[in-house]
Chains A and B, each alone.
Chain A
């Protein structure tokens, strides 16, 4: 079939052949169908196993989840952790990006690598190393150790967004500001920060989403606390009220999807502006 098709004319029309199309659709369904199943099983009447087709549909699990105090505790902890990690990442990531952009120093490449490392390393390595570091320092596991763990890789997202924006903006902007009488602090406040704003917001939202559904590093850095992903993992192994996990998953999806979408639109718009300005 493929040999009979005329690739030249197909390409000139900008249309893919049916083979490529079906492969693409297969890929899309393979990636997204399981998500639809998660949503579907949030409504099933079968509370012990995931049988298909579901024997019946109900919305009672939303009420059950709503009534579960441990769900709310886990959700609240996750939101708090994600928010704190995001704030730490935004402050430290911005400063790191500003320093990397502004100064040249010996070992700069190595430091860049160190900043990027937490996201490149498998979570389990970060988790184990943090855990041993905390126990070595006699730091009790708590909400703060989770936040510290999450901040290590959240900084990277903010840093990457900020440094990309800095590299795209003209270095003459800083000189222009100084030339017009602004000292370093005024230049940061009136020129650098406003230019970075959308990049920082986008980086912060990605950091929030990353932290919110993180489970591996959390497992190693949490004490008795259960973040939402850990709580869900525990729920899965219980025989009763399985669909509660699915309802929680729907919550997670909404909470992480919205900031990622927002981050996408924020950076997309500014890219257009930066592009048309040059």
Chain B
């Protein structure tokens, strides 16, 4: 549970947050390391945002302790915490200029005017918005507002930066660009980033570690690679990336046992004859029920002879004779790629 290298930035110790009968966060334990890019991933209502608000101080735990850099934060109001938040809808102050927005935290801390102007301008430069200081937030695009929100939080040099689905409102192209930038900024400033998202792609591409939330609990906390290659539960296997989840009869047809298991579509080989299959591979036969051409790869749905269905993704390295719909094909995969789950 605890990290082997470096200090702990945030520690959740048996933390619960209940709203009446609803257990938004239910007895959660985990540590966030100092300086890491930490993602909290999960569907809506899984407790990830509540955990973020518990760190920020907008919520107080029903039970347990939230510890930030060794200090128990129970009862400490948001304005006495050394953490800052980038809000989902940016929450820029509409009546202030961009520069005044960024300098707000410094103004509250009574930093002299000249100094806070300079610091705010430097921070705007860093998020590539130099020269925008005189504008009002309403005169900026969504992506620009997002950067202002980031600058406004970072200018205070918080110990932990909290980001609540900050890219949710942006279009796809901009979102991908901002993912790269956010990662680069985090590397440069070295501040712990705690990033809440429901987008598994975002979590995998940016984070050092990801906590997958489901129904107020953490299903798995691991690096993106581990999360994808070795999901601990069926929920994680289904939520992170595309998975063939096999249970009951379908599992028996594919693996010979009824234990729930899953396999990634890109790990499965598809052959039109039995010739090339290694002796130690796991195999299944089925009929191609649908073909989805996606450009870089093609996705096949194969109905297994023993029941159940497998999705197979093949990379389109070269245009070759592909199986047609309705054709019977042989599937095989290496046993180590099959992920088995305890019930």
Contact = CB atoms under 8 A, between A and B. Distances in A.
A23 interface: no
Contacts of A274: 94
Contacts of A191: 93
Given A178-B77, A180-B152, A183-B79, A277 B94 contact: yes
A181 B94 contact: no
Given A172-B89, A273-B138, A178 B79 contact: yes
B56 A179 contact: yes
B45 to A, nearest CB: 19
A27 interface: no
B141 to A, nearest CB: 12
A274 B137 CA distance: 11
Contacts of B132: none
A172 B165 CA distance: 14
A interface, over-half SS:
helix
A268 to B, nearest CB: 16
Contacts of B214: none
A10 interface: no
B241 to A, nearest CB: 32
B87 A172 contact: yes
A71 B152 CA distance: 58
Given A191-B93, A273-B94, A274-B94, A182 B79 contact: yes
Max count, chain A CB within 10 A of own CB: residue among B57, B58, B78, B95: B95
Nearest to B83: A179
Interface string A250-278: 00000000000000000000000110110
A45 interface: no
Nearest to B84: A179
A173 B93 contact: yes
A194 B56 CA distance: 25
Contacts of A178: 57-58, 77-79
Interface in A174-195: 175-183, 186, 190-191, 194-195
A177 B95 CA distance: 13
Interface in A96-155: none
Nearest to A197: B95
A170 interface: yes
A22 interface: no
Given A172-B89, A191-B93, A177 B104 contact: yes
B73 to A, nearest CB: 14
A175 B95 contact: no
A43 to B, nearest CB: 47
Given A180-B105, A180-B156, A181-B108, A173 B138 contact: no
Nearest to A278: B138
B184 interface: no
B197 interface: no
B113 interface: no
A266 to B, nearest CB: 14
B108 A180 contact: yes
A264 B320 CA distance: 71
B324 interface: no
A276 B105 CA distance: 26
A195 B87 CA distance: 19
Given A175-B58, A186-B108, A277-B138, A181 B91 contact: no
B138 A181 contact: no
Given A172-B87, A276-B138, A179 B94 contact: no
Contact of A181 (B58, B105, B137): B105
A177 B84 CA distance: 10
Contacts of A276: 138
B85 interface: yes
Contacts of B107: 190
A199 to B, nearest CB: 12
A253 B113 CA distance: 47
A59 interface: no
B109 interface: yes
Given A180-B156, A181-B109, A274-B94, A175 B87 contact: yes
A178 B152 CA distance: 13
A212 to B, nearest CB: 30
B87 A180 contact: no
Contacts of A195: 93-95
A190 B56 contact: no
A49 interface: no
A60 interface: no
A220 to B, nearest CB: 42
Nearest to A176: B91
A173 B91 contact: yes
A15 interface: no
A60 to B, nearest CB: 51
Nearest to A194: B95
Max count, chain B CB within 10 A of own CB: residue among A169, A178, A183, A194: A178
A147 B22 CA distance: 50
Given A169-B94, A186-B108, A179 B138 contact: no
B95 A179 contact: no
Task: Please provide the 7 A-B residue pairs with the shortest distance between their CB atoms, ordered closest to farther.
Answer: A172-B91, A176-B91, A180-B105, A277-B138, A178-B78, A181-B108, A194-B95
Given A179-B79, A180-B152, A183-B79, 6 more contacts: A173-B91, A173-B93, A176-B91, A178-B58, A179-B85, A273-B94
29 contacts: A169-B94, A172-B87, A172-B88, A172-B89, A173-B91, A175-B58, A176-B91, A176-B92, A177-B93, A177-B104, A178-B57, A178-B58, A178-B77, A179-B56, A179-B78, A179-B83, A179-B84, A180-B84, A180-B104, A181-B79, A181-B105, A181-B109, A181-B156, A182-B104, A186-B108, A190-B104, A190-B107, A195-B93, A195-B94
